[in-house]
Chains A and B, each alone.
Chain A
Amino acid sequence: MTNSWNDIKNADVVLIMGGNAAEAHPCGFKWVVEAKANNGAKLIVVDPRFTRSAAVSDLYAPIRPGTDIAFLSGLMRYLLGNGKIHQEYVKSFTNASYIVKEGFKFEDGLFTGYDESKKNYVDRSTWDYEFDEQGMAKVDETLQNPRCAINLLKAHVERYTPEMVERICGTPKDKFLKVCELIATTANGERSMTSLYALGWTQHTTGAQNIRSMAMIQLLLGNMGIPGGGVNALRGHSNVQGITDFALLSTSTPGYLVLPTEKETTYADYMKSRGFKPIRPGQTSFWQNYGKFFVSQQKSLFGAAATKENDWAYDYLPKFDTAYDVLKMVDMMAGGQMNGLFCQGLNVMMAAPNKAKVQAGLSKLKWLVIIDPLETETAHFWENHGEFNNVDPKAIQTEVFQLPTTAYAEDEGSFTNSSRVIQWHWKAVDGPGESRSDIQIIADLHSRLRALYSKEGGAFPDPIVNTTWNYAKPAHPDPVELLKEINGYALADLPDPADPSKVMLKAGQLLPGFAVMRDDGTTSGACWIYTGVYTEAGNMAMRRDASDPTGLGIHPNWGFSWPANRRILYNRASADPAGKAWSERKKYITWNGSRWVGGDVPDYAPTVAPDKSVGPFIMNQEGTARLFSRTAMPDGPFPEHYEPMDAFIVNPLHPKVTTNPVVRVFAADTKSFGTPDKFPIVATSYRLAEHFHYWTKNVHDNAVVQPEMFVEMGERLAKAKGIKNGDWVEVSSQRGMIKAKASVSKRIRPIMVDGKPCDVVGLPIHYGFIGLTRKSYPLNTLTPPVGDASTNTPEYKAFLVDVKKTTPPASQPAVA
């Protein structure tokens, strides 16, 4: 989230699209209801289903799953065409005026530089600005040049007329226009709109571009960095934000640094592409500090073994050739290329698409280690559960370990929530039986490996035996020790930059913030954005002062919000170029003549005057935000509508390029996609308010309030198929078949797409063959093994199926 949960109350318009906050995040949704009740806010919900968010909305519009970019591009066309943009914000704070290279083009569904044989944009050199001799991007402040980013954007979205939106999305034109009109009321500094989304936008082959579309809209409206504004990803697990911050991901390192590729053979090579010099005069380009963060991290990981001479232990890090994300891992397992797998609290048997492929992959492993507080389908993948998991245990040679862990109430530590707030929790009781904390289990594993490698040697023992492990109890590090290590220390006396004769920080002291980090090995800090969480003043994550002096929901002394305890990112943009608030209503951070002041920590150098023209988007080399994204996105600098891989129609915009042209499809999966002649119904998956992922099916009271798998369908489809509420239905896709009870509802509206009726069915993700709920076929039996072109997030939200009435599963009664 760029803003915070509490900040939602400051919104005048709330757009829920690509998510369903009322069901997935009810207590966060509280702030939507608060905005409605006390700020006169209007709630818009755009969703394939009339959800429980829609139940309290002011305006609902249906949409076909997987067509959000068409809708949002149509919205951009409306805003640009009707002058409903925040002109001064757009001109000053975005790259609207930047001149894009002459060669850049978009034709027949493809941007320049596409290589058909590689299914990739191999040459992205035209996806950039014109530069002058000094290496500065050229701009036209008058916006007259047709190559200005905003003019190219206008031309790009011109095709998305309300009629085209209706044709692709199935959203009735009048509903679409009502949504546009309401959103357009925030195109000024007086009112703001917040965008709340979740996996409904990410889980598509165009996932990252869905979100980019909204970021562009919020920039056009001037809603970034503003109270009640922002683009807010509502994240799933209690600490998925923290675990992502700590880069439990294939190609990242903590704090959004990037693991070296195998092309970057030395530290100097690696840093070459990370110079991040400003490309407009006088800009901050904060990533210029990259080296300080990287070296401090290596010092945390490898201590004395990371030296200037050995490139800060650069070779201790694996170098990647490609990303090994969940889809790739399952593909490797199924192809027999993996021998071992650890599943720490991740139920991959349910969570990865195409269950049959996951099942085959797990069966080919030599060993599997489950680290979890609960029974999972993954732990029992080898067990026969009748038609729900029909396998022969004797034929499965995988050795499986199940290690019981403690859960939240049974250990202490910090979680980082969706809005980046780090909160400490305290232990209440011991875990059940012989359960152990994740920390203890991982420490035990490392200690044993380290001992083995110290004793016997083996393949490249260096990083294992040299990992810093100076904990009071090596087999059981204390979370407090770990949070201090994450924060970082001065490793030598650090001189005061203002007066080098003075010592600013003594060796061994905790760093007060990432600004003091150095790239000479005299500071440590595992994750630079967390620095400041544990200082000489104590554990900031433990702070429990709920006061809110401004009344804007900032709560600056509650926990610690990374980075630097900042609650709204890009908040310099809440003031106009001269440093004055855009409006009294949205006053947040302003220039008082000598410094930036307000209730939050300014996202800007605190004493840099507005007349220095330093842009508010300090992480970018431009200092401005990007309507045209340069080369950051693999599928183009502008978002474009492509059909899901299970395509319901031929893309009316460019029939030769129906689906995203740069999606990765594994050789084993080329026949995994369905076509509408066999599978004429669009399916989407979702979460229920009563359940959390695959956990709460193990919780009695949650099983009571939503006991069994179902498939939600509209009345038109039910009538056509002779299906009544509560009937057993077979739902099949190119990947497999499940059975579920029918839930026939008016809440799935009958829509027309490209001139034909489009029926949508909805399938909750929660049910499986383990748990207190009724046994069920896992939903991922149906889902396609393909992901977003940018992030490889699986396409769970739009695929094709067929449905028909059927008989109950053998173990289930015909009627409840």
Chain B
Amino acid sequence: MAVTRRQFMKVSAAGLAASSVGALGFMGAGEGLAAGVRPYRLEKATETRNTCPYCAVACGVLVYSSSEGTKDGKAKVIHIEGDSDNPINRGTLCARGAASLGFANSPNRLQYPMHRKPGSDKFERVSWDFAMERIAKLAKEDRDKNFITKNRDGVTVNRWLTTGFFAGSSCSNEAGYLTYKAIRSTGILALEDQARI
């Protein structure tokens, strides 16, 4: 969701004490600046509205991205700050949100599907197709072997107890619903999210 220059200025102004805006006066990025002042680094960035990934205050954030200078020509996130239009956080962010650029670009982000063989001391890179095919096979094998159609009293229970699923509580509603659908349809009961922990 790109924003116009006018919106950008409005957002900017919201970061200031309201009564000060008129008095200060300002102009857009990219126009002449006094020597020594660093050029405003978001001038050519794309602004996208998003929600902070951490706690459930759900602060609005502006994600600034740019492909300038990236090796693969793909856009990267270069800065994140609060969305002043959002009535919940009004542009503010906490120590986590204000540093969330470092999450998007963390050196500990996973890049590729990895596989650790039984007894091995390392992960090895594999293809998505290999990983997903093997996981589906393992899951079906376990389900077919251990699925309980009827309990001791002969009541239909249709449950699968030997595989569990911990659901991510930072997935979107849409991902969460799809997960519910896919997982419940297998008969899994050992299903848990982050609500307790």
Contact = CB atoms under 8 A, between A and B. Distances in A.
A332 B139 CA distance: 17
Contact of A692 (B55, B113, B183): B55
Contact of A254 (B118, B177, B183): B177
B156 A319 contact: yes
Given A240-B194, A333-B164, A374-B110, 20 more contacts: A237-B55, A239-B171, A242-B176, A249-B192, A249-B193, A318-B158, A320-B189, A332-B164, A342-B165, A401-B134, A402-B113, A402-B116, A409-B48, A418-B56, A425-B172, A434-B113, A439-B178, A446-B185, A459-B160, A690-B95
Interface string A441-485: 111111011001100001110011001100000000101001101
A791 B162 CA distance: 22
Contact of B93 (A27, A396, A449, A452): A27
B99 interface: yes
Contact of A452 (B94, B118, B140, B151): B140
B166 interface: yes
B177 A527 contact: yes
A558 B175 CA distance: 22
Given A374-B110, A417-B88, A458-B140, A438 B161 contact: no
B109 interface: yes
B197 A482 contact: no
A161 B90 CA distance: 44
Contacts of A445: 132, 135-136, 139, 182
Nearest to A699: B102
A402 B110 contact: yes
A427 interface: yes
B133 interface: yes
11 contacts: A243-B193, A340-B139, A341-B166, A396-B118, A403-B110, A409-B104, A413-B173, A438-B179, A446-B185, A459-B160, A698-B103
Contacts of B131: 401, 403
Given A319-B158, A435-B110, A402 B96 contact: no
Interface string B82-113: 00011111101111110110111011111111
With a 10 A CB-CB cut-off, give which of A248, A410, A435, A690 has the most chain B CB atoms.
Answer: A248
A67 interface: no
A238 B55 contact: yes
A411 B172 contact: yes
Nearest to A378: B166
Contacts of A696: 54, 96, 99, 103
A219 interface: no
- Sort chain A's interface into a size bin: 35 or more
A27 B94 contact: yes
Interface stretch (B18-26, B28-36, B141-149): B141-149
Given A247-B180, A477-B178, A318 B159 contact: yes
With a 10 A CB-CB cut-off, give which of B80, B111, B149, B153 has the most chain A CB atoms.
Answer: B111
A399 interface: yes
A6 B173 contact: no
A793 B195 CA distance: 8
Nearest to A5: B88
B138 interface: yes
Contact of A429 (B75, B103, B121, B139): B75
Contacts of B63: 409, 428-429
B37 interface: no
A786 to B, nearest CB: 12
Nearest to A558: B87
B176 A6 contact: no
Contacts of B144: 458-459
Contacts of A401: 113-116, 131, 134-135
A301 B76 CA distance: 37
B196 interface: yes
B111 to A, nearest CB: 3
B12 interface: no
B74 interface: yes
A369 interface: yes
Contacts of B143: 458-459
Contacts of B190: 250, 324, 328-329, 332, 338
A345 B193 CA distance: 9
A426 B111 contact: no
| Nearest 9 interchain pairs by C-beta | A345-B168, A433-B111, A413-B172, A417-B58, A404-B110, A248-B167, A459-B147, A340-B163, A448-B136
B165 A793 contact: no
A418 B180 CA distance: 20
Contacts of B92: 27, 30
Interface stretch (A100-108, A570-578, A700-708): A700-708
A404 B104 contact: no
A354 interface: no
Contacts of B195: 235, 240, 243-244, 249
Contacts of B102: 699-702
A316 interface: yes
Contacts of B194: 236-237, 240, 243, 346, 351
B110 A373 contact: yes
B86 A546 contact: yes
B191 interface: yes
A439 B80 CA distance: 24
Given A332-B190, A436-B128, A794-B197, A486 B174 contact: yes
Interface in A87-112: none
A556 to B, nearest CB: 11
B17 interface: no
B120 interface: yes
Interface string A540-551: 000010101000
B60 A423 contact: yes
B15 interface: no
A343 interface: yes
